[in-house]
Chain A
Amino acid sequence: MENNSPALPPKQTVKLRINGAEKQLELAPWTSLLDALREHLNLTGTKKGCDHGQCGACTVLVDGRRINSCLTLAMMQEDKEITTVEGLAKDGELHPVQQAFINHDAFQCGYCTPGQICSVIGLVNEGKAKTLDDIRDLMSGNICRCGAYVNIVKVVQEALERSETR
């Protein structure tokens, strides 16, 4: 075919380890981790809220650290342990942070929720949050337009207490 558009780089084989399972994909190199999850693996639990790292809806855990999956290419995340909201419940039992979101009604529409949940788990792993203000600051990368912040903070407090007693 005659083609006067710039040549596009060929698709590449990308191996991702997601929620404990190896996934092999043929991806164009410009595919973000977020789009790889949502459009290629049908893991739509991870949400697209801006595609620019401004809202946090796409937060996932990579090797236990929370990142915006819209700001990284899928092929940059090979050989890492990626956890999405779909990988948190074990044998049908919710992760305590998931359960706490339900108990505290820490969401309304639910669209930012998977990102918030991953962010809470990442925040606990970081071990930096000591005060209420710390929690509020360190959760401010995840926008909740429904305004469930008061309840989200309760979830974080509970998660921090749990991690201390562990």
Chain B
Amino acid sequence: MKNEQIGKATSRVDGRAKVTGEAKYAAEFNVPDLTYGFVVSSAIARGKIKSIDTSKALAVNGVLQVFTHENRPGYVWGDEKYQDKDSPPGSPFRPLYQSEIQFSMQPIALVVAETFELARYGASLVEVAYKQDAFDTNFEANIEKAYVPEKYKSTPPPDPRGKPEKAFADAALQIETEYTHPSEHHNPMEMHASVAVWEKDGKLTVYDKIQGVDNSQQYIANAFGMDKEEVRVISPFVGGAFGSGLRPQYQLFLAVLAARELKRSVKVMLTRQQMFSFGHRPKTTQRLAVGAAEDGKLEAIQHDAFAETSKFEDYSENVITWPGVLYKCDNMKLSHKLVGLDVYTPLDMRAPGGTTGIFALECTMDELAYKAGVDPVEFRLKNYSEKDQNQDKPFSSKELKECYRQGAEKFGWSKRNPEPRSMKEGHNLIGWGMAHGAWEATQKEASAKAVLSPDGKLTVSSATADIGTGTYTVMTQIAADTLGLPLQDVTFLLGDTSLPKSPLEGGSWTVSSVGSAVKAACDKVREKLFKLAQQVENSPLKDAKFEEVRFTDGKISLQQDASKAVTITAALKQNGGESIEEQVDSKPADKQDNYAPYTHAATFVEVKVDEDLGTVKVTRIVSAIAGGRVINPKTARSQILGGMVWGIGVALEEEAVMDNNLGRFMNHDLDKYHVPVNADVHDMEVIFVEEKDDIVNPLGAKGLGEIGIVSVAPAIVNAIFHATGKRVRELPVTLDKLL
């Protein structure tokens, strides 16, 4: 019997709350007697605060206090107290710790007032005198000083394989490229915000924008020397995050500090400008040297990355691992070095490393395919990898060939004339390009609890998050499916530290990790229910074995004879009016260690480039995805569509521009930092190819939050080459680069 909820295109269970305005995001918990904090940001990139005069702000009626490094209470300031679950190695930034300025727009004061307007006004009255020091924000000028970190946050580059230098030198075809990806900011629509609620007994309830409440709780407990029991963190809805909510941001620290000192509840929401004052996707330059035989068969790949980090933490991401995953090649050398600048530490941003690395890799391979005179799809088939060569492990499953086939067919790839500038429509040059990509399909340890009440209603919970990914919906489906209940009888709770532990919501591992825990908890309830069903008077299941029954439509029945059934509510009556309660800690099965689990994608793009104006329109994108079993095709499609939209942003629009005279990202708002809008998005199609995977986790689902973005930007850039004959190697491809 097919399960009935998994695989169904169900509308979001939290949809009604979101379209009516009932869904409450962090800044929307308006508790009684609330005060408002407004952050003052540093005007310089490096130096010291000589003096900070808060008297004018404090003189305003309604301003309660201005917190600075001078009057903040004494805490334990050791690095380890400020490290969180996503910290890179190094010394984390500590708000209001000292007079030293480490980066532009560093928070240097919090003005707290009775109203938002007064706090904002008060912040404008704080007068700061600085001693400016020389600073380094110039990436290009420092690239040759790049260093190998003592410890990588990401997977360390694997040891070289074969003889990459010699194989390159001997190769019939050689190509050397340099690709650059700018700094980008996440810019979720909801700015980061925290409401720290001061409870009568000195405990705190904190509403925070975070991709994992456990992380905020641990951070507060450590930084403020509190017991975890004294801090409850709640985050039922997150207005997008894309990685920006993996680490607790400074508004959380400041709200908690103010609440504890004032013994009042405090709300702090950052401004959109301040959203450019913390983690971002690091600017990265990549150099590739690739050698191939005449026919395009790869013989050597060298891939070196130089990526931005701060002067205080060594952030790194998996930029250069992708050749070893995506292309079969026996001679490979991969390196990742860091460029330390006076900026805030970069932070995982949707497919961190993958977006950056696959862009450079896939554009380089397009260049090489042209050099070899081989069709780009043919080229990839010729160099198809059957294992992750970095780890020397076979894939748990890989239906990438099917992605090429179905994607190409839907797109009409076979009609492509490979000649650049061969297709025209009026003053528009038309280009077709493609790329492929991969992303890790990881399972982490996670816990979940299932409570089935005597009336047959099931509540399942785990302290995970739903940042728009559909967690509420798919967990509800998984639970309902396992116990054969209608969706409306199942409630999934998340975003509360009082719930069972969950990993950070990121890395495309939530369905795999939390979903497996939800399934395991419900499986235990199932076993109990079956035993209870056997105890029902004259139970038709008395002699049945557990393996012989199924749970559907609120009933437990024999697979062979559906008429032999006991309703779940009847079985529950045997439990003495009590709920069935099961909590499990789930972890990856040992057999996973022998495999490399990845999702894969192939993307085909059409662009139209106005020859006179240099404007690029992405008129068509087809992405074929191999992501294992799809729990909910509706929300899954939306995630992939979102990734495609991000790919357009990466390829054509997004760039945080560093002004090296000021040491500041100068386009720090949504007017000048461009993200895709409705007019930028045209036809998009998503294909999920069938992929069976018994290894990746008990659900066979791989997670889809990041695979949607990785192959889109290179496919667009490759299409632009096909349209114009111009190979742009620096993102974003703005019109000035095409004229």
Contacts and interface: CB of A to CB of B under 8 A. Distances in A.
A154 to B, nearest CB: 12
B641 A150 contact: yes
B671 interface: yes
B143 interface: no
A109 B468 contact: yes
A52 B668 CA distance: 12
A152 B19 CA distance: 13
Contact of A110 (B14, B30, B118, B639): B14
Contacts of B110: none
Given A5-B60, A101-B19, A147 B641 contact: yes
Interface string A90-134: 000010001101110101111111100100000000000000010
A53 to B, nearest CB: 9
A145 B242 contact: yes
A40 B572 CA distance: 47
Interface string B256-295: 0000000000000101100000000000000000000000
B24 A111 contact: no
Interface stretch (B149-157, B319-327, B643-651): B643-651
A8 B61 contact: yes
A142 to B, nearest CB: 7
B100 interface: no
Contacts of B597: none
Task: From A43, A46, A151, name the one whose CB has the most chain B CB atoms within 10 angstroms.
Answer: A151
A55 interface: yes
Task: From B125, B189, B469, name the one whose CB has the most chain A CB atoms within 10 angstroms.
Answer: B189
A75 interface: no
B669 A50 contact: yes
A49 B155 CA distance: 35
Contacts of B271: 51
A85 interface: yes
A85 B20 contact: yes
B11 interface: yes
A137 interface: yes
A3 B58 CA distance: 9
B134 interface: no
B584 interface: no
A25 interface: no
B239 interface: yes
B28 A139 contact: no
A52 B645 contact: no
A8 B56 CA distance: 13
Contact of B189 (A47, A84, A94): A47
Nearest to B186: A145
Given A1-B61, A108-B639, A54 B670 contact: yes
A44 interface: yes
B310 to A, nearest CB: 24
A98 B20 CA distance: 7
B641 A52 contact: no
Interface in B622-645: 634-635, 637-639, 641-645
B239 A111 contact: yes
Interface residues of A, number: 66
Interface residues of B, number: 69
Nearest to B677: A140
B405 interface: no
A33 interface: no
A63 B671 CA distance: 27
A5 B59 contact: yes
B587 interface: no
B681 interface: yes
B711 to A, nearest CB: 15
Contact of B669 (A54, A85, A146, A148): A54
A110 B18 contact: yes
A52 B641 CA distance: 28
B167 interface: no
Interface in B429-454: none
A49 B14 CA distance: 21
Contacts of B171: none
Interface in B1-30: 11-12, 14-25, 27-28, 30
Nearest to A94: B19
Given A143-B670, A145-B242, A105 B116 contact: no
Contacts of A144: 189, 678
B642 A84 contact: no
Interface of B: 11-12, 14-25, 27-28, 30, 36, 56-57, 59-61, 115-118, 121, 125, 187-191, 237-242, 269, 271-272, 467-470, 634-635, 637-639, 641-646, 669-671, 675-679, 681-682, 684
Given A39-B36, A148-B642, 8 more contacts: A39-B115, A47-B190, A54-B670, A94-B20, A109-B188, A109-B237, A111-B240, A117-B19
Closest 5 CB pairs of A and B: A45-B21, A147-B645, A111-B239, A109-B468, A110-B18
Interface of A: 1-5, 8, 28, 30-31, 35, 38-39, 42-52, 54-55, 57, 84-86, 88-89, 94, 98-99, 101-103, 105, 107-114, 117, 133, 135-137, 139-153
